Amino acid sequence: SISKEDDDVLNKLVSIFIELYDNNAKRLNSNATKKVANLIAGKSVSSCLKFESAIGATATASKLRASIDTKEYISDGNSDCKAIGSDTSCAIDGHVCVTTVTMACSSSCSWWN
């Protein structure tokens, strides 16, 4: 059993590990990210991009958790946000993975949301 705080720390550490060592990951600056988001969404990004990330022992688990977290975020008073894409990186052949879902939001852009 792991506490919520420890789970958050672990999630961030694995994300950093994958970012440092996954040579296949595409790294985009904020302008490039917005352009990709615009292409995926088929329209311009109104105000901001938000991200939900989740860790999983497998790629499938991390994708499922990130998807569920995104749906909960949107239904929890952020209905102006729309999921526009996701990326998954794994440390070892589809295991120990992090999935990040990108959302385009029109008004839920406060730092605390």
Q: What is the pLDDT of residues 7-23, one digit of tens each?
A: 777 777 776 666 666 66
Residues whose CB is less than 8 angstroms from the CB of residue 59 and which lie 6 or more positions away in sequence, other chains included: 88, 90, 94, 95, 97, 99
For residue 70, the one-letter residue type is: T
Q: CA-based angle 37:66:83, to the nearest 5?
A: 30
For 91, the enclosing helix (H) or strand (E) is strand 81-92
The candidate with the shortest Cα–Cα distance to 55, out of 106, 112, 2, is 2
Q: What's the pLDDT at 113?
A: 47
The residues pairing with 64 across neighbouring beta strands, listed in sequence order, are none
Q: What's the pLDDT at 22?
A: 63
Q: What's the pLDDT at 97?
A: 92
Residues whose CB is less than 8 angstroms from the CB of residue 37 and which lie 6 or more positions away in sequence, other chains included: 45, 49, 84, 85, 102, 104
Q: What's the pLDDT at 75?
A: 94
What confidence tens digit (pLDDT) does each residue in 47-56 have?
688 889 999 9
Write out residues in the chain with pLDDT < 70, as ranges: 15-47, 108, 110-113
pTM above 0.75, yes or no: no
